Amino acid sequence: FSAPKPALPSQLQSVVGILGNFSLLCSYIILHFLGYRLRSTDLILKHLIVANSLVLLSKGKHIRSDVGCKLLFFLHRVGRGVSISSICLLSVFQVITISPWNSRWAALKVTAPKYIVLSIFLCWILQMLVNVVFPFNMTGKRSDKNNTEERDFGYCSSIVIDKTEDALYAALLLFPDVLCLGLTLWASTSMVLILYRHKQQVQHIRRTEASSRSSPESRATKFILLLGSTFVYFYILSSICQVLLGLFDQPSQFLVDITIIIAACFPTVSPFLLMSHNSSVHRLYFAWIRNAKSSTIMRKM
């Protein structure tokens, strides 16, 4: 949740995160127009970038109107939900991709890529449906509604309703997150086991140069594990802060600011992880270098 005057670290974090996500998205667009064939996982990553950008753009805004407050919270929740769903989808898809052909996932290895677009579309639709009720429990500072029982979160307030209804509503919001988090942890554990078994199988090969270099699938899997573990780490920290925030009717400004910063850590960090480990972005860089060298040579001629 945001404060009326976001702290400088939060503002700087938003600027850095938005620039990183925008640069990465532009890289994918340029690769598309250059004719490079992107991998199936790159489509999931592009939607992850869009979702992270939505989280950052809807964070820390100084909007006091009731409509603006509701809209920002809705966009923030949808972006956050799609980000979680994208990490889950990415992890599950990768564990299917690297699973052995004699495993129970063999039948899905061929069909899974065909359902990526549908899966991403369902992620957006489901998150919109789940979070559409969320704005109705929020009210802006300049709202004409007089609510005697409300929890102050800076420029917005949360209407305090019946505790039973509040618990049911919280369970509804948490269920998709918990499900995606559980699937992500399961997929990550499965990927670690598959990589370990593969390493054990190739240890007897003495051709060190051929066996020591990791395959593209192995590098992609390790990167997805890094991305997933980073997400889980920041998600747990954010959840702890959200629980602490919900325990107080009037939370302190420090707790509000810390919650804002931690909630935006993964959307800020993830584009730089992608740029440093994603081979598609590296292809764009090398293509730009080749074009620059060709242009220099042509000018000298």
Q: What DSSP line would sit under 72-94, residue for residue?
A: HHHHHHHHHHHHHHHHHHHHHHH
Tell whether the model's pLDDT for residue 201 goes beyond 60. yes
Contacts of 220 (CB under 8 A, 6+ apart): 39, 41, 94, 279
The two structure tokens encoding residue 105: 């996932």
pLDDT value of position 211? 44
- Top pLDDT among 297 and 26 is at 26
Element (H, E) at 6: none
Domain boundaries, the chain: 28-135+159-206+214-280
Task: Considering only CA atoms, give the Rg of the chain.
Answer: 22
Q: Average pLDDT in the 189-202 region?
A: 81
Residue 219 three-state SS:
helix
Is the torsion defined by CA of 29, 188, 103, 208 positive or negative?
positive
Is 90 exceeded by the pLDDT of residue 63? no
Q: How many CA atoms lie within 13 A of 261 on its CB side?
A: 14
Mean pLDDT computed over 148-169: 61
Would you say how long the chain is, in residues?
301
Q: Please indicate whether residue 261 or residue 89 has the higher confidence score (pLDDT).
A: 89
Q: Residue 212: what pLDDT?
A: 44
Q: Cβ–Cβ contacts within 10 Å for residue 111, how many? A: 9
Give the tens place of pLDDT for each residue, 18-55. Answer: 998 988 888 888 777 777 777 778 889 889 999 999 99
Least confident of 12-26, 105-119, 207-221, 237-251: 207-221
Inter-residue contact 285 to 291 (CB < 8 Å): no
If you write DSSP's letter for every residue of 135-189 in order, what string do you get?
Answer: GGGEEETT-S---SSEEE-SSEEEE---HHHHHHHHHHHHHHHHHHHHHHHHHHH
**Nearest CA to 7 among 54, 62, 52?**
62
CATH second-level architecture of 28-135+159-206+214-280? Up-down Bundle (1.20)
Mean pLDDT value across residues 132-136: 74
53-67, 157-171, 191-205: range with lowest mean pLDDT = 157-171
- pLDDT band of residue 14 (cuts 50, 70, 90) is confident
| 262, containing H or E segment | helix 253-263
Task: Please state, as a whole number, how many other Cβ atoms lie within 10 Å of the Cβ of residue 161.
Answer: 12
Task: Say which range, 119-123, 159-163, 220-224, has the weakest mean pLDDT.
Answer: 159-163
- Which residue, chain included where needed, has tokens 């399961």? 186
pLDDT tens, position by position, 238-274:
888 877 876 776 777 788 778 888 888 999 999 888 8
Tell me the torsion sign for CA atoms 99, 101, 104, 109: positive
Cβ burial of 250 (10 Å; 0-12, 13-18, 19+) is exposed
- The residues, any chain, with a CB within 8 Å of residue 39's CB and separated by 6 or more, are 220, 280
> Residue 133 has what pLDDT?
76
The alpha carbon dihedral of 150, 81, 226, 181 has a sign of positive
